[in-house]
Structures are given as C-alpha cells and as structure tokens.
Amino acid sequence: MNANPHNPQHSAWTVRESDVVVIGAGPSGLSAATTLRAAGKSVTVLEARERVGGRTWSKHVDGAFLEIGGQWISPDQTVLSELVEELGMDTFSRYREGKSVYRAPDGTVTQYTGEMFPVSEETEREMERLIEILDGLAAEIGPHEPWAHPKARELDTISFHHWLREQSSDEEACNNIGLFVAGGMLTKPSHAFSALQAVLMAASAGSFSNLVDEDFILDKRVVGGMQSVSQAMAARLGDDVVTGHPVRVLRWQEEGEYPVQVEAEEFSEDGEATGAGVIVHARRAVVAVPPNLYSRISYVPALPRRQHQLHQHQSLGLVIKVHAVYETPFWREKGLSGTAFSADSLVQEVYDNTNVDPETGREESRGTLVGFVSDEKADHVFAMSAQERQEKLLASIAELLGDEAKNPVVYYESDWGNEEWTRGAYAASYDLGGLHRYGMDQAETVGPIHWSCSDIAAEGYQHVDGAVRMGQKTARDIVESL
C-alpha cells in the first residue's frame, strides 16, 4: 500500500503503526481504545477537534460551568455507570423536589405532582393507553434487531405522527406522547420518522414508560461534567490520542499485515493548517464518528453500495439546549422543581440544572435552568437575531416558571448544528422507511473497517451509555478477529 499521504511533498508527516486506528475521540472511540489497550493491543486515536469528548463538552461561560452536550445518566445505563465508577468519579441527582408545571394547548399553566400531566380524565386515559401500546411494542420488538420483526415494515412505513392519530383521536394525548420521542429524543418532527424508529427509541431505554418518566431518564449527572469521562479515558491513553487531526482519507484492503492506512492532516479550529499530519498503518480501523459524518472521509477503494446508500438515510436531529443561570434558584422558593412541559411552547421542556461544585462537592448557590427547543421551533428561532431569540426563549420559560426567568446572570445556547464535527443534536435516526430497509447493515464491518457510535447502539441508543457499549463491543469483536 502507498505509504505516502495524498500530498507526498509534506515531509512533516509522522508515520505510526498500531494494531487499531480509532477515528474520533468521543465516548465511543475512547471506550473502544481503552478496551483494546486493556487487551494488549496498540491503538492510535485521531480526533478532528482540539479537544476530546465529542458531543459531551463542558465549558465555563461568563463564570458559569455549563454542560453544552450530553450529561444525564439513567438507571438502566449500567455500562456508563460502571465506567464512571471505575474512573473514580462521583454522580449527583437532578433536583426534583416540589411541583412540576404543565402548559396546556390553550395556554393554561398548571402546577402538579406525580408522573401524569394534569390533563382531562379522558386525555389521561388516552395517554395511558398509548403508553401501554408503546410499552407492548417496545417489549415485543426490542432494541437489537427492530428491522427483523414481522411488524417492522408496517411500522416503519408510517410516520409516528400518523401512527399516533391512527391509535387515538385525542390530539392533546397524541401531541404529549409525540413530544417524548420527537421533540424530546430524536429532535425531529414526528412526521419525519417512523413508528418503528419511535419503538426503537423506547426499547433502547428499557420501555416507553421509562422514556416518559423524567425522573428515570434524567436521573444523575457526573460531578465535573460528562466530558470528564472522556478526558479521563484520554489521559490514560496519553500520547496515543492525537487531537486536532481530522481523518480525511482511509485506504483499506481485505488482506495484508497492515490493511488500513489512515491520513489525518493537522487542523486548527481557527482555520490554520500547518501542513503537518499523521499517517497510521493499522490492522483494523474503528470509525467512531456519527453516521452523518462518515462521508467526510474518502475511502479508497470506495465503500460498497449498501454503505453508500444506508449512510444517506441517517441524519441528525436539531435541538437548542438553552442554559440560564440565576443568582438563586428562584423557582425552588415557590415550591417548584424547575421541571416544566409544554408541547406547544417554543421551549418544550425545562429542568433544574444547578451544578455541584467539583471542589467542594456541594451544590452551587446560583440556580441553573436548562430548556430545550427542538426541530421546526429551532429553525424558527434561528431565523431571529440572537437578541430576539434570547428574549423569546426566556419569555417562553417565564410563562412556565415565572417572570424572574427573564433575567438570568448568564445565558447560553448550545448550537450543535453549527459544529462542523457534529452538525446537529442529539444523534442520528433514520428517515421514514430507512430503519427496516438498512438497519441490519449499519454495524456490518467492511473489510478491516468497524463502525462505533451511540447512533447505532441498541441499549443506550443516542446516549453516552450506548456510545460506550458500542465502543467496548467493537473492541471485543476486533480482539477476537485479530
């Protein structure tokens, strides 16, 4: 195989040999590398960004510590919990004392306790019935091979929006149930993905009931932030993690001692390229980037037709994570938990996201709220000026929790759609009909190339736990094949 990069005049390229080259230092790539290293394999991890952690990222903004990306762990996410424990990190629970808030489609705002929204008895019955149907389907179909189930085609060729309306004529019930998967998880409108995709989302969290229970799904956070999990894994891997090096070319062949050659040119986020780079010769490659980015890499020879096609049917959703920090958690003084839902508002979900200080282990005195603005609503507010958007989003939170919400001391919007090396949030899902047509091939290896990310996980699909599970599984598969 040609040992030179595409531009052989670059003499400043470093050449490395590893058993495995991992592309992407998010939780999946780093988990794969950690497991491979533990099995005695040499690894090189190449990361495009100048930091590790991918869609998990903590930042200080105007003196406030914010988790820009993934943060919560639920009780079923045992593989991530074990990793956090093994790394010696602590977790803390989301604040959930007091009443939650529900805003009905007619704009009525009600405070409530318990799991069920304060809707009419009839709507409550309909919501419970829909949850039961979805629980049944999730249990029957499971997260591993939803495409193989006899009902796969039927459920994958109808949008979740229309499927819900086939089950119930109660619009409020359909919208509330739709919210948990559409705005709340896949961050696409419910007409843009199938009922089968919704069932996979539920099955990956154990059940639909788990998905609609915010106390389950948004249970714990890592003290110091979820990104620190990736940072700790990267620290153990040391110089074998190379940041600021997007992989542009992956040359591969079926046979040979080193059938993989990966080329990554040094790249700085301010746009400066130095002309230096890294070439890694490896026995296996793990592509640990979200599927929407697979085609940013040139494969030589080209990938098979199935891969070309299937990658075009997976896309990332869009959500803005809105952070607002206040001098005090004012909602708690009113007996509110900070949890609020409104399928019809710009900000459809709000939670208390107050931090625990890693130095003292105590909760900070300032209060933080986090809200989410999904899919078409995100398009709508992104068309506004930054100032107008901030005013509208804070006004939307204020409708739920009170006018104090309009005056945070720190305000920040996580905008992952703008991130070159992600391009959306939270994760990838199939378009209508894509899951039963292509799902069976999404994790198929191509010669020495393996795929690993949360977007193709079964348990923990779309979550950090799924990323870690995929990384560890991919590593075990490679160890076995070597």
Ligand X SMILES: Cc1cc2nc3c(=O)[nH]c(=O)nc-3n(C[C@H](O)[C@H](O)[C@H](O)COP(=O)(O)OP(=O)(O)OC[C@H]3O[C@@H](n4cnc5c(N)ncnc54)[C@H](O)[C@@H]3O)c2cc1C
Binding site for ligand X (CB under 6 A): 23-29, 46-49, 54-56, 69-72, 246-247, 288-290, 293, 296-297, 321, 414, 416, 421-422, 425-427, 453-454, 462-465, 467
Radius of gyration of the chain (CA): 23
Q: Which is nearer to ligand X, 68 or 127 (CB)?
A: 68
Cβ atoms of 326 and 338 closer than 8 Å = no
Residue 291, preceding bond cis, omega within 30 degrees? no
- Least separation in angstroms between CB 205 and ligand X: 10
The secondary structure of 214-234 as a DSSP string is HHHHT-EEETT-THHHHHHHH
- Least separation in angstroms between CB 194 and ligand X: 20
Indicate the angle between helix axes 78-86 and 464-481, nearest 10 degrees. Answer: 80
Provide φ and ψ at 458, rounded to 5°. -95, -85
- Least separation in angstroms between CB 318 and ligand X: 10
**Bridge-based pairing state of the strands 336-341 and 349-352:** antiparallel
Task: Name residue, tokens 């629970």.
Answer: 93
Q: Which is nearer to ligand X, 79 or 164 (CB)?
A: 79
| 3 state DSSP class of 110 | strand
Q: Which is nearer to ligand X, 70 or 433 (CB)?
A: 70
- Least separation in angstroms between CB 38 and ligand X: 18
Cβ atoms of 56 and 66 closer than 8 Å = no
Q: Which is nearer to ligand X, 396 or 454 (CB)?
A: 454
- Least separation in angstroms between CB 184 and ligand X: 11
Q: Which is nearer to ligand X, 149 or 221 (CB)?
A: 221
Instruction: Retrieve residue 367's tokens.
Output: 């209060």
Diameter of the chain measured on Cα atoms: 73
Q: Which is nearer to ligand X, 289 or 378 (CB)?
A: 289
Within 10 angstroms of residue 302's Cβ, the number of other Cβ atoms is 9
Q: Which is nearer to ligand X, 93 or 407 (CB)?
A: 93
Sign of the Cα torsion 350, 351, 352, 353 reads negative
- Least separation in angstroms between CB 52 and ligand X: 7
Q: Which is nearer to ligand X, 26 or 206 (CB)?
A: 26
- Least separation in angstroms between CB 95 and ligand X: 15
Task: Compute CA distances 75 → 196, 215, 216, whole Å.
Answer: 24, 10, 7
- Least separation in angstroms between CB 172 and ligand X: 27
- Least separation in angstroms between CB 256 and ligand X: 23
Residues 6+ apart with CB under 8 A from 201: 181, 185, 186, 211, 429, 461, 462
Q: How far is it, in rounded angstroms, from Cα 4 to Cα 264?
A: 12
Query: Residue 357 has what DSSP assignment?
Result: P
**Among candidates 151, 216, 156, which has minimal Cα distance to 184?**
216
- Least separation in angstroms between CB 457 and ligand X: 8
- Least separation in angstroms between CB 278 and ligand X: 11
Task: Compute CA distances 85 → 82, 205, 227, 267, 313, whole Å.
Answer: 5, 21, 15, 34, 36
Q: Which is nearer to ligand X, 64 or 453 (CB)?
A: 453
Q: Which is nearer to ligand X, 161 or 463 (CB)?
A: 463
Side chain identity at 240, as an amino acid letter? D
Instruction: Retrieve residue 149's tokens.
Output: 């189930």
Q: Which is nearer to ligand X, 158 or 446 (CB)?
A: 446
Containing H/E element for 413?
A: strand 410-415
Side chain identity at 460, as an amino acid letter? G
